């Protein structure tokens, strides 16, 4: 049976209550700020005006995302592949969803807000410590922020050393792209790709 409307969905799941409902805040306080400043990784979710979705990984040293006030954060748009899906979507719709992760911590921090792409020097100067300073940054105004419970990470054991696989048993990015694109080129070995990435960070 397909769930077709919100009434059916609520009949199945019910309403959130207590802490689950009350934890959603409209601005950053000390724990949210600390989480962002400790996080070396986030997932940036956006959508275009036509509903095209994108979820993009973003990373840096802890504190690579700058907290400028209780309602504003700034994310550097680090050097990438120039496809610019995420920032194109932001230019079109001005909405973002963020998921912050800290290695070893099973809880995550979720943040939803409005955003725009800026090349303002006052924002770019926040990232002069980067090896390759960004051409632009994403300025996010906080609308909702809340901690997400640890259940998904407990189920997946994401940070547990015992579940890490041997990279040699998994196809390299070069091999996967070769197969997906039907290329006749010899795939770039994983080690060479990693060294190339390191030079281009």
Q: Which residues contact 53 (CB under 8 A, 6 or more apart)?
A: 45, 46, 47
Q: Are residues 25 and 124 in the same domain?
A: yes
pLDDT averaged over the chain? Answer: 93
Q: Are residues 38 and 135 in the same domain?
A: yes
pLDDT digits (tens, 9 = 90+) for 72-114: 999 999 887 778 999 999 999 999 999 999 999 999 999 999 9
Query: Is residue 1 one of the residues assigned to a domain?
Result: no
Provide the CA 171 distance to its chain's centre, in angstroms: 24
Provide the CA 75 distance to its chain's centre, in angstroms: 10
| % of the chain residues with pLDDT over 90 | 74
Q: Which residues contact 73 (CB under 8 A, 6 or more apart)?
A: 28, 36, 65, 66, 67, 111, 139, 140, 142
Query: Is residue 95 one of the residues assigned to a domain?
Result: yes
Question: Quick one: average pLDDT of 134-139?
Answer: 95
Q: Which residues form the domain of 126? A: 18-156
Per-residue confidence (pLDDT) for residue 21, from 0 to 100: 67
Q: Is the pTM of this model over 0.85?
A: yes
Question: Quick one: average pLDDT of 38-65?
Answer: 96
Q: Which of 158, 119, 155, 113 minimizes the C-alpha distance to 137?
A: 119
Tell me the helix, strand and coil percentages in the chain, rounded to 5: 35, 25, 40
Tokens of 55: 């979820």
Q: Are residues 105 and 29 in the same domain?
A: yes
Task: Give how far Cα 179 sits from Cα of 155, 182, 185, 187, 196, Å.
Answer: 31, 5, 10, 9, 21
Q: Are residues 137 and 187 in the same domain?
A: no
Q: Are residues 83 and 173 in the same domain?
A: no
3-state secondary structure string across 1-52: CCCCCHHHHHHHHCCCCCHHHHCCECCCCHHHHHHHHHCCEEEEEEECCCCC
- What is the tally of structural domains in the chain? 2
Question: Quick one: average pLDDT of 28-46?
Answer: 98
Q: Which of 140, 127, 132, 136 minimizes the C-alpha distance to 100?
A: 140
Question: Quick one: average pLDDT of 31-39?
Answer: 98
């Amino acid at each position: 049976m397909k769930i077709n409307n919100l009434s059916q969905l609520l009949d199945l799941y019910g309403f959130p209550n207590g802490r689950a409902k009350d934890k959603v805040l409209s601005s950053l306080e000390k724990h949210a700020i600390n989480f962002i400043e400790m996080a070396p990784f986030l997932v940036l979710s956006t959508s275009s005006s036509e509903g095209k979705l994108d979820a993009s990984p973003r990373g840096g040293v802890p504190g690579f995302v700058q907290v400028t006030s209780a309602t504003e954060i700034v994310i550097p748009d680090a050097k990438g592949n120039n496809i610019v899906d995420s920032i194109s979507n932001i230019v079109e719709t001005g909405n973002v969803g963020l998921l912050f992760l800290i290695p070893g911590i099973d809880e995550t921090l979720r943040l939803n807000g409005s955003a725009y792409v800026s090349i303002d020097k006052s924002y770019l100067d926040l990232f002069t410590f980067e090896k390759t300073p960004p051409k632009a940054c994403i300025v996010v105004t906080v609308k909702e922020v809340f901690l997400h419970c640890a259940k998904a990470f407990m189920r997946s054991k994401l940070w547990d050393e015992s579940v890490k696989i041997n990279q040699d048993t998994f196809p390299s990015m070069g091999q996967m792209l070769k197969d997906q694109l039907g290329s006749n080129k010899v795939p770039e070995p994983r080690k060479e790709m990693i060294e190339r990435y390191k030079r281009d960070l």
